[in-house]
Structure 1
Amino acid sequence: MGSALVKDPIIYERRTNNLVEEKVPIKLKTALQFLFGTMLGRCIVLTPHFRSYLKRVTLEKGWRYDAKESKAEIAEFISGYGIDTNDMEKPLDEYETLNEFFYRRLKAEARPIAAKDDPAVLVSPCDCRIHVFPTVTEAKTIWVKGKRFNIRNLTGSERAASVFENGSVVICRLAPTDYHRFHSPVQGVVGDDPFAWLGQEYYTVKKLAICTPLNVLTENKRLYFSIRTEVFGEVGVVIVGAAHVASIKMSKREGEEVKKGEELGYFAYGGSTVVLLFKEGAVQYDDDLLSNSKGGAETLIKMGDSLGKRAGSGPLFAASTS
Structure 2
Amino acid sequence: MKTSDLVKLDNPKHFEQTSLQYQRRFGVIAGYLPKDIIHIGKWLSDLVEHSYKEKETAGANYTLAPSILEMKAMLTHNKELESQVNKMIEEGLLIHKKYEPDVKYGIKSLDDLFVAMNYILHNAPKFQPEVSHSAFPMSGLFVYMMATPSGWIVFKNQAFNDSLRNILQAWCDFLDSPETLSVVTTQPDGWLSPASVIANNLNEFVTEETKIKDPVHWGFKSFNDYFHRQIILLCRPLDGPDNDAVIVSANDGTIYRVARNVKLSDNFETKSQNYSLKNMLGGSPYTDMFKGGDVLQTFLSGHDYHRWRAPITGEIVEARVINGYMFSELPVEGWDPTAGTYSQGYEANVNTRGLIIIKHDDPKIGLVAVMPIGITEISSIKIEVGVGDHVKKGEELGTFSYGGSSLCLIFQKGAIKQFTVVNPAPDVNSNNGPYVRVRAQVAIANTSSKINTHLTT
Under TM normalisation by the shorter chain, which class is it? 0.7 to 0.9
Partner of 1:249: 382
Q: Given that residues 373 and 379 in structure 2 are in contact (C-alpha distance below 8 angstroms), is that contact kept between their aligned partners in structure 1?
A: no
Q: Given that residues 61 and 246 in structure 1 are in contact (C-alpha distance below 8 angstroms), is that contact kept between their aligned partners in structure 2?
A: no
CA shift at 1:83, angstroms? Answer: 0.7
Q: Given that residues 321 and 381 in structure 2 are in contact (C-alpha distance below 8 angstroms), is that contact kept between their aligned partners in structure 1?
A: no
Q: Which sections of structure 2, spanning at least 5 residues, go unmatched?
A: 1-6, 9-13, 35-39, 41-133, 212-216, 330-335, 450-457
Partner Cα distance (1:9, 1:264) in 2: 37
Q: Given that residues 383 and 397 in structure 2 are in contact (C-alpha distance below 8 angstroms), is that contact kept between their aligned partners in structure 1?
A: yes
Partner of 2:406: 273
Letter in 2 for 1:101: Y
**Is 1:301 aligned with 2:436?**
yes
Where 2:203 maps in the other structure, the secondary structure is coil
Partner of 1:119: 244
Partner Cα distance (2:438, 2:418) in 1: 16
Where 2:422 maps in the other structure, the secondary structure is helix
Query: Is the radius of gyration larger for structure 1 or structure 2?
Result: 2
Equivalent residue in structure 2 for 1:219, among 350, 357, 371: 350
**Is 1:169 aligned with 2:295?**
yes
CA shift at 1:224, angstroms? Answer: 1.8
Where 1:34 maps in the other structure, the secondary structure is helix
> Normalising by structure 2, what TM-score?
0.57
Partner Cα distance (2:234, 2:162) in 1: 42
Q: Given that residues 104 and 180 in structure 1 are in contact (C-alpha distance below 8 angstroms), is that contact kept between their aligned partners in structure 2?
A: yes
Letter in 2 for 1:300: Y
Partner of 1:15: none
Computed over aligned residues only, the root mean square deviation of the Cα atoms, in angstroms, reads 3.6
Q: Given that residues 54 and 243 in structure 1 are in contact (C-alpha distance below 8 angstroms), is that contact kept between their aligned partners in structure 2?
A: no
Partner of 1:145: 273
Higher strand share: 1
Q: Given that residues 31 and 302 in structure 2 are in contact (C-alpha distance below 8 angstroms), is that contact kept between their aligned partners in structure 1?
A: no
State the aligned residue count. Answer: 302
CA shift at 1:212, angstroms? Answer: 4.9
Q: Given that residues 244 and 447 in structure 2 are in contact (C-alpha distance below 8 angstroms), is that contact kept between their aligned partners in structure 1?
A: no
Higher mean Cα deviation, 136-145 or 149-158?
136-145
Identity over the aligned pairs, expressed in percent?
A: 21
Where 1:94 maps in the other structure, the secondary structure is coil
Higher mean Cα deviation, 26-35 or 62-71?
26-35
Higher helix share: 2
Partner Cα distance (1:65, 1:256) in 2: 29
Q: Given that residues 378 and 403 in structure 2 are in contact (C-alpha distance below 8 angstroms), is that contact kept between their aligned partners in structure 1?
A: yes
Partner of 1:88: 205
Equivalent residue in structure 2 for 1:58, among 168, 171, 177: 168
Q: Given that residues 144 and 211 in structure 1 are in contact (C-alpha distance below 8 angstroms), is that contact kept between their aligned partners in structure 2?
A: no
CA shift at 1:64, angstroms? Answer: 1.7
> Normalising by structure 1, what TM-score?
0.78
Q: Given that residues 142 and 294 in structure 1 are in contact (C-alpha distance below 8 angstroms), is that contact kept between their aligned partners in structure 2?
A: no
Partner Cα distance (2:311, 2:24) in 1: 24
**Is 1:228 aligned with 2:359?**
yes
Partner of 1:198: 322
Where 1:63 maps in the other structure, the secondary structure is helix
CA shift at 1:58, angstroms? Answer: 1.6
